[in-house]
Structure 1
Amino acid sequence: MKLQRKNGLRAAALGALVVSGTLVLSACGSDDNSGGTSGSGETTSAASDIKCDGATGKLLASGSSAQKNAMDLWVKNYMAACTGVEVNYKSSSSGEGIVAFNQGTVGFAGSDSALKPDEVEESKKICKGGQGINLPMVGGPIAIGYNVPGVDKLNLDAATIAKIFNGKIKNWNDPAIAELNKDAELPDKAIQAFHRSEDSGTTQNLGKYLGATAKADWPYEAEKKWPAPGGQAASGSSGVAAQVKQNEGAIGYFELSYATSQSIPTVSIATGAAAPVDATSENASKAIAAAKVKGTGKDLALELDYATKAEGAYPMVLVTYEVVCDTGNKPETLDTVKSFLTYAAGDEGQKVLSDHGYAPIPAEINAKVRETVAGLK
């Protein structure tokens, strides 16, 4: 029941971060702070279920770029409702977010992968009397975006995706791709495969999918660091998406919102179901709905079935966690952390996800998230 003592590390570099543009926050402050509230602790009609509940001051957070667009929306709505509160989320990577959390420089971190045992152990130094826990907050498909003029529909299976990203398939008219796309006019053009340059939970989740479904062609451990030879690197989901958008013959992986916002076509995955499955929020929800909680105590880390062949279930999914202390949160930010995450996990916060390429967390699991947030100390 102890509250964490003030940490001398204030991370001035993070202080400049606020809201940037679509889902997670980036580097500029929210300009819309006029939600019609009469003071901190009150709510607006536009964001009817936001309860500020003593929230005040500045809350720093960082991590996953996968949830950037969702986080941007949440922060904008939250800061409009809670005057006098500033939430700054730095969209970087899951790995950087967890490092910042375990250094005590942020109130919470976003990560596309649950904390590993050594990261949990390290968190105990910051979470005095407690430890870091995983709260699933954002779900959605990892889209495979491509730039092949004249090819508006592209089907791939796990083995072909693996061979493209490890450099074994080098051309767009390769027989393996042609076999899955008999009606497409595939060009004799080199493939440019882009991956994340920094440690990334999105990379790790892609690796989990390929490891579960194409082990013979993807013999690598599912880690946050890109494991395969070849390819080209770009920073963040936004960087990979930008490279795909700009380069003919390119292919890359990123959250669906990045494809949607930039009109990048995405691959449909042949899973063994009756028809290839499109990357949509609805189809991702079908896969995430089968997730089971594998964490213990207050930890709500999930186990996903990447090898599902269920009809209409898009298997290449990720769940982004907000990492917090179960006990030992900073007293100066605890109320704000609880207030903000309560909104994000609430009906209003989850509702905005579907319209922006994300999948809400299943209701049964989400109820446990709200209960856990309410009990943070």
Structure 2
Amino acid sequence: MKLQRKNRLRASAVGALAVSGALLLTACGSDNNSGGTGTGNSAAAAKNVKCEGAKGKLLAAGSSAQKNAMDLWVKNYMAACSGVEINYKSSSSGEGITSFTQGTVGFAGSDSALKPNEVEESKKVCKTGQGINLPMVGGPIAIGYNLPGVDNLVLDAPAIAKIFNNQIKKWNDPAIVKLNPGAKLPDSAIQSVHRSGDSGTTQNFGKYLGKAAAADWKYEAEKKWPAPGGQGATGSSGVAAQVKQVEGSIGYFELSYATSQSIPTVKINTGAAAPVAATSENASKAIAAAKIKGTGKDLALSLDYATKAEGAYPMVLVTYEIVCDSGNNPDSLANVKSFLGYAASDDGQKILSQHGYAPIPTEINSKVREIIAGLK
């Protein structure tokens, strides 16, 4: 009887391990670009999340750039705080800000800081304060491409600008050939793909080109795509899907989308000793040099898109969670503080680098935590 009981226990343990492994493989193999959460991360999060006072539903919306990070955070957080349901609608930064200023969400995600007119608009919702920017997610904007036989494509800012401005139209253009000696570049058309809706990723992409390729990119850095030609797609997931499917295509999106779909990414010739790859580590080197340009509790950052520092990937973005510094909806305030507190915690930030994002530098993140704790 003792032997039978021991065998049953052993079989039960093996079964549980198999189920756990299956769940992990399902998460990692998911084609919704969630990137997987990892059972270990959920367990770790459960020990550190402060759930006190949080209950019911929390609605949020905005940036699709942080969707994969948000998926990870939501799963881990809800595993720790079983009485709370987080619903983040991934759309665009513009839609997220609109939802926030209309008072329909507890917080919004945006890849660009609030403009002065948006701050003014937020005061209607933040009865005793205004909307502020809390940097929560960093990472590289990757340039993904579909060019069979070319595994290490190198471009510089002027070439990228001309491709997306419909001035370089063939893959064997002399400018691309010069940057890729020895590569077998085909005499075929380039199909560039951009975001069709208002997008903070587009705006950050434009900021990079405006700084690093000023002579070739004359457009203002706005959320709406400004250049002629190319094909539009919905969200970063739509751009990545087009690049994955269409041979000869090229598009911009967050690294996590390239990683999850095995899309090769461009190395950028910044003028440093060697071209720089789009990695979390290389993006962190650029983000670490960011300066806070916001005032008061606003932590909007100024990034150096034209950096030539060794190993620093210059095409980066920071996604902000937008909240009221005071005057938050009392029905959602506890949930907002609890959830964002987890996202800014060591555990919340640690999982970012494992999934194609870059954690916010410690010096800045400590201020984020302090402000979250003081929201009212």
Same fold (TM over 0.5): yes
Matches within 5 A, 1:32-51: 47-51=46-50
Aligned to 1:361: 360
What is aligned with 2:243?
A: 244
- Correspondence for 2:265: 266
SS in 1 for 2:47: coil
CA apart distance, 1:47: 2.7
Aligned to 2:165: 166
| Amino acid across the alignment from 1:198 | G
State the AA in 1 paired with 2:370.
E
Cα distance change, pair 330–210 in 1 and its aligned pair in 2 (3 A): same
Distance (whole Å) between structure 1 residues aligned to residue 258 and residue 77 of structure 2: 26
Counterpart AA for 2:312: A
Structure 1 residue 289, shift from structure 2 partner: 0.2
1:286 aligns with 2:295: no
Residue 24 of structure 1: how far off its partner (Å): 10
Distance 2:83 2:48 in 1: 18
The two structures, once aligned, show a CA RMSD in angstroms of 1.7
Aligned pairs for 1:116-155 (under 5 A) are: 116-155=115-154
Kept in 2, the 8 Å contact 1:283–1:312? The answer is yes
Report the Cα offset of residue 45 of structure 1. 5.3
CA distance in 2, matches of 1:102, 1:90: 16
Q: Spell out the pairing of 1:212-231 with structure 2 (5 A cutoff).
A: 212-231=211-230
- 2:200 is aligned to 201
Corresponding residue SS for 2:181:
coil
Aligned-partner residue type, residue 352 of structure 1:
I
Matched AA of 1:283: N
Q: How many residues align?
A: 344
Distance 2:272 2:294 in 1: 30
Query: Gapped runs of 5+ residues in structure 1?
Result: 1-18, 36-43
Counterpart in 1 of 2:57?
A: 58
Give yes or no for contact 2:57–2:86 (8 Å, CA) kept in 1: yes
Counterpart code for 1:263: S
In 2, distance between residues paired with 1:21 and 1:367? Answer: 32
| Partner Cα separation in structure 2 for residue 371 and residue 48 of structure 1 | 20
2:263 is the alignment partner of 1:298: no
Answer with 1 or 2: which has the greater Rg: 2
Equivalent residues of 1:22, 1:73 under 8 A apart: no
Paired residues of 1:66 and 1:202 also in contact (CA < 8 A): yes
1:97-123 CA distance string (max 9 Å, x none): 000000000000000000000000000
Contact persistence 1:24–1:68 (CA under 8 A): no
Deviation per CA, 1:205-252, whole angstroms, max 9, x where unpaired?
Answer: 000000001111100000000000110000000000000000000000
Once residues 243 and 260 of structure 1 are traced to their aligned partners in structure 2, the CA distance between those partners, rounded to angstroms, is: 15
What amino acid is the match of 1:74?
A: W
For the Cα contact (< 8 Å) 1:59–1:107, is it kept in 2? yes
Classify 1:45/1:221 alpha carbon distance in 2 versus 1 (closer, same or farther; 3 Å): closer
Q: Is the Cα–Cα contact under 8 Å of residues 270 and 276 in structure 1 kept in the other structure?
A: yes
> 1:20, CA displacement in angstroms?
9.6
The answer to whether structure 1 residue 109 and structure 2 residue 103 are counterparts is no
Aligned to 1:373: 372
Once the two structures are TM-superposed, the CA of residue 21 in structure 1 deviates from its matched residue by 4.4
Identity %: 79
Partner secondary structure for residue 199 of structure 1: coil
* 8 A contact 2:61–2:99 mirrored in 1: yes
Cα 1:46–1:335 shift into 2, 3 Å = closer
Residue 24 to residue 343, structure 1, CA distance change in 2 (3 Å): farther
Deviations 1:114-137 (A, max 9, x none): 000000000000000100000000
Give the structure-2-normalised TM-score. Answer: 0.89
Structure 1 counterpart SS, 2:351: helix
Letter in 1 for 2:309: A
Tell me how far apart the structure 1 counterparts of residues 131 and 254 of structure 2 sit (CA, whole Å). Answer: 25
**Partner SS, residue 47 of structure 1:** helix
Shift in alpha-carbon separation, 1:148–1:22, aligned structure 2, 3 A: closer
Paired residue for 1:41?
none
Alpha carbons 1:204, 1:225 under 8 Å: kept: yes
Q: Which has the higher helix share?
A: 2
The Cα shift of 1:23 comes to 4.6
Is 1:180 aligned to 2:179, yes or no? yes
What is residue 98 of structure 2 aligned with on the other side?
99
Distance in structure 1 (CA, Å) of the matches to 2:151 and 2:116? 43
Map Cα deviations across residues 318-368 of structure 1 (whole Å, 9 max, x no partner). 000000000011111100000000000000000000000000000000000
Structure 2: unaligned runs, 5 residues or longer: 1-29
In structure 1, how many angstroms separate the alpha carbons of the residues matched to 2:81 and 2:45?
12
2: CA distance, partners of 1:175 / 1:356: 35
Question: 1:20 touches 1:72 (CA, 8 Å); kept in 2?
Answer: no
C-alpha distance in 2, partners of 1:149/1:220? 32
User: Is 2:45–2:348's contact at 8 Å kept on the other side of the alignment?
Assistant: no
3-state SS, counterpart of residue 134 of structure 1: strand
Aligned to 2:4: none
Query: Which letter maps to 2:337?
Result: K
Do 2:35 and 2:256's aligned partners in 1 also have CA atoms closer than 8 Å?
A: no
Q: 1:293 to 1:20 in 2, by over 3 A?
A: farther
Taking structure 1 as the reference length, the TM-score comes to 0.89
Q: Return structure 1 stretches of 4+ with deviation > 3 angstroms.
A: 19-25
